[in-house]
Structure 1
């Protein structure tokens, strides 16, 4: 039996067809294309959090997953969440998305996660294939900055830091400033309007009473009345005139209407209230102006700006303030401080020292904090800095203060931290080395300029690479109580390796003359030319009388040959054993063969491929000292040697 549909009247058919069309449109409006379109619209309006939500909804059913992952990554990056962008850049690249900046920003995102080796490899890979000059310049600066990473990581910690857990929330708290007995800060806390850029609230300025205990700080938080405005960011307050003048940053509604850029405003405390904030004349209407900081005497105002004529994204500027309150022309602090990247969150210590946050200067990732010393930035090191954003530092005095960070294990987006200078005098360890090479037959060794040297940890894992200068010199920063290896390779030469340790080399505190001290170790690395069939004596390989067993003291020496074979995987060797003339020739030949084989078996047991090493006993047939008479001469004849018999090119 065949089933048939009952024929419907024509009017009913049209209604049915209309219903199908409507259903198709409704389903289409919920498809990936619609979500992508909505995400693009929000992205264009800089509402990155909403854009991310739409893009993620489109991911499940979209065919172009690589491109959508890239858009998600970009939304995270542009909303200052670079570390969170890393898996999406990776997914975009793995999904076949080939936009060039994805490769660069993926490397930067890995660095923001603290994955330094992976970041360096990614950036180097990009430099090999990239074609965009501007992006390649950024990558080249980042790769160059990695040469200082070991120095920064090796700096002895000068401060102890503590999260202000009672004050911090799941929102963001940053930009600390101490005024009288109050801690002033900026925060997205509260139940106000949501800022579409990152999904948090709009920024306002708050205050709370200082306490002796950082763990207890956070009670009775109050907003700054007459300063904060609903639906606008108000943040980064700095004070002068004994706290009666405040300059702060305001702006960015997160929409295409109204104020788009951030500008500096001023208000004065009169009649027990703050006056209506006024726009400062130093603002550039076409630029982002923020991060203000007064000098201790209130006569200089520093700030960060994206105005034209700078050296990068955001630069640090300063203006002088005369007796009548007029501002001088903004002055850029120059290329020693400002970079092609971003410098912002400037602050001034009680002694007039300038502190800045920068993502363009060599650091641990994202924004790092620096002090300006003799006109040059100096990284504050760990634990002030981390792979995340570290910024907005404020010194109460030369020993303690507060700063902001979005590092891992924080409570919210950005958190406030207290720091105190460690009372112990600090010691930073360094090794200063010289790389030489020695050719066969040469009378003296020569330095090797512009050549890589690798610092390895005790497990043989690479930590950092340095390049020798024109004089063959190189330097690495070291941790205390640690052992390292210095390694350098060159075709046609045995790999040079030397151990260096800081164990037992920490000076007593009473012998340290400075708050921060340096201990510098010296090292020489020598690349010896490989000469086939040249015998090389292994010292201190001893055997018990009439025995071929490997003694513990001999094993230590044979381990050095194992290391040579591991460092030089392209060579194959003959290991030979030799005796003196005492005993019969046949006996000595047999004994030397057994000893050579025993040594070879030990080396193979340490992981060296059997095909790379041959045992040969020569007995008394190759004497170094013929007609030996003294025990010392007999000892020279009793020896273990190796020679390179093959080199894989």
Structure 2
């Protein structure tokens, strides 16, 4: 009897194990082929271990069901301590936490598990000071049913993608009907609404494929849109549905020549087309080989014969190691796009980037007034630049929103410290001057006792900054302000004194700074510059040319062998003669002063009992640096 019971138990266990194995295999196959809704139904019924829980969470994660994803991920054992969970898991887990506005927990996981410290609250505070606009959003499609996103402007209508056609088959990824394009009218009255909705065109919409993200030329005769290919490719043992940009032409009021663009492929995706204002470039998102991340933003030139140039990647100022999608180019040449790889609030966030000298600057998050904890994407503005459309799944379903945007006041700063380059000592009372790109003075300040400075700047400008201290070589730094989120640029100015830079410059015991040159000799009672003196003064000319901000005093001294008045007059004439020699050799008079001291400041105070050597020492020219 006991043997029979043991046999029954073993049979149940083996049968259960076989059922588990078969169900797991089926769920894994659905998962690998991105049939996440069906896969989740099976995983939810299986006994829970780390592998099942992670894949169950993934199924919810990829369909933005963050509450369910969090519940599954949170049950994984050893989640809070060192474990064999990989980086990819923690990236997804941080996304889920942000999608639930659990920002503090997301920041902690990011810092500890991903070695990527970030403070969301500080980021929010920063953006409030620097974003160029605040946005007021109103839902446009919440009452029409289905999921809708990605408006394109077409004549007096709009064209958008939607799952409204319930006759379409359901897409395995999310269990919703395939997307079609729809056209509609926007009515503006007491409130804005979308009316007269109808399928766009049978030549464009298909039954078993997605169509989305249509963009039209201004004459309405050419359109570009995204469509997934019917045939799926086998990539790393996984069936992948490739999306391509298609082009269509309106001929005799019929859309025809519907073909994929030349730079598309059946082995990688191209999607989300966008035209620049003069329709010479087509921007798009792609995972083509050599992309920086999973999807990057590219552009191609549209050539005169309507063919396309080679795809150009917009680079790391725009693209990250993750997804950049849904580009839109404003008529002011501002690029807008969605990313989940840059600093944000969860899911896809919207960013903008201005262009300078032919290159896009670091992208700026558009802020909390338009970005939510979920996916926010497909941003466009209308001609006024103050209104537009954006798509978001913040409500749990993709919807289109209208927005009004209001300009904000922004002030950027450049600040820092001024120190001695050699000694590191603080340099109070340094003049710090800000210049624009053309070298015009914008503003000026003096450092305080703490040797710090702070000056206002504007975003997206080029500047130079000069630190100037008497008896120091001015230091100039060049910098740009951009919309990357930096509004407080810190530049430490290290300036070098003339005495540290030049061997012939020295300080005396009283802190006066002199240029030490060979003595200049004059004939008795004369003040004309002799050839030997000229050679000495040429060294001074070279030094003054090297340092155009240097200002000096030319001081002439005599011995005491003549009368006081005579010596004073003679020394003044010699000092002026020296000054005139420098002016004749190209040195600005404004940088020079001259002074005759006569016999009042002898180096050797020997009175009338001086030797010839002592007299010659007292009879001299000195070059005192004033600035």
Question: What is aligned with 1:270?
Answer: 251
Alignment of 1:136-151 (within 5 A): 140=116, 143=118, 148-151=123-126
Cα 1:254–1:56 shift into 2, 3 Å: farther
Deviation of 1:286 after TM superposition, in Å, equals 2.2
Structure 1 residue 31: deviation in Å? Answer: 5.2
C-alpha displacement of 1:328: 0.8
**Superposition map of 1:110-509 within 5 A:** 110-127=97-114, 140=116, 143=118, 148-153=123-128, 158-166=133-141, 169-191=144-166, 192-213=168-189, 215-225=191-201, 226-240=203-217, 242-251=219-228, 260-374=241-355, 375-376=360-361, 377-397=363-383, 398-407=385-394, 410=395, 413-422=397-406, 426-427=408-409
Q: Is the 8 A contact 2:141 2:148 kept in 1?
A: no
Query: How many residues are aligned here?
Result: 413
**8 Å contact 1:293–1:347 — kept in the other structure?**
yes
For residues 200 and 105 of structure 1, the distance between their equivalents in structure 2, rounded to whole angstroms, comes to 23
**1:45-60 superposed matches below 5 A:** 45-58=33-46
The alpha-carbon deviation at position 301 of structure 1 amounts to 0.6
Tell me the SS of whatever aligns to 1:40: helix
CA contact (8 A) 2:233 2:267 kept: no
Q: CA deviation at 1:319?
A: 0.9
Gaps of 5+ in 2: 2-7, 418-424, 429-450, 456-485, 489-627
Is the counterpart of residue 86 in structure 1 residue 70 in structure 2?
A: yes
Contact persistence 1:406–1:415 (CA under 8 A): yes
3-state SS in 2 of match to 1:150: helix
- Whole-Å Cα distance in 1 between the matches of residues 325 and 96 of structure 2? 20
Q: For residues 392-426 of structure 1, what are the alpha-carbon distances to aligned partners after superposition, in whole Å with 9 as ceiling and x for unaligned? A: 0111121101011111xx2x52111101123xx52
Aligned mates of 1:401, 1:300 — CA distance in 2: 21
Residues 145, 288 of structure 1: alpha-carbon distance in 2 compared, 3 angstrom cutoff: farther
Q: Is 1:72–2:72 an aligned residue pair?
A: no
Q: Classify 1:43/1:414 alpha carbon distance in 2 versus 1 (closer, same or farther; 3 Å).
A: same
What SS is found at the alignment partner of 1:351? coil
- Find the aligned partners of 2:34 and 2:376 in 1 and give their Cα distance: 24
Tell me: CA distance 1:213–1:403, structure 2 relative to 1, closer, same or farther (3 Å): farther
Superposed displacement of residue 111, structure 1: 2.0
Please give the alpha-carbon distance, in whole angstroms, between the structure 1 residues aligned to 2:67 and 2:93.
9
SS, match of residue 218 in structure 1: strand
- How big is the shift at 1:78? 3.5
d(CA) in 1 for partners of 2:334, 2:402: 19
Deviation at 1:279, TM superposition (A): 1.3
Rounded to whole Å, the distance in 2 between the matches of 1:159 and 1:444 is 41
TM-score (norm 1): 0.56
**Where in structure 1 are there 5+ consecutive unaligned residues?**
5-19, 128-138, 436-442, 447-470, 476-517, 521-649
Kept in 1: contact 2:163–2:180 (CA 8 A): yes
The TM-score, its normalising length taken from structure 2, stands at: 0.58
User: Which moves more between the two structures, 246-255 or 181-190?
Assistant: 246-255
Cα distance in 1, alignment partners of residues 251 and 187 from structure 2? 28
**CA 297–433 in structure 1, closer or farther in 2 if over 3 Å, else same:** closer
Residue 27 of structure 2 is aligned to residue 39 of structure 1: yes
CA deviation digits over 1:345-397, x for unaligned, max 9? 00122333221111122222221111211322122112111221111011112
Shift of 1:427: 3.5
Please tell me whether Structure 1 or Structure 2 has the larger radius of gyration of its CA atoms: 2
After superposition, the CA RMSD in angstroms is 4.0
The equivalent of 2:571 in structure 1 is none
2:595 is matched with none
- Structure 2 distance, partners of 1:474, 1:306, is 44
Instruction: Measure, in 2, the Cα distance between the counterparts of 1:205 and 1:214.
Output: 28
Q: Are the aligned partners of 1:46 and 1:197 in contact in 2 as well (CA < 8 Å)?
A: yes
Report the alpha carbon displacement of residue 278 of structure 1 after superposing the two structures with TM: 0.4
Question: Contact 2:163/2:177 (CA < 8 Å) preserved in 1?
Answer: yes
Q: C-alpha offsets along residues 113-172 of structure 1, whole Å, 9 cap, x if unaligned?
A: 222211011122214xxxxxxxxxxx53x7488864431255578344333355555532
1:445–1:234 Cα change, 3 Å? same
Tell me how far apart the structure 2 counterparts of residues 31 and 275 of structure 1 sit (CA, whole Å).
52
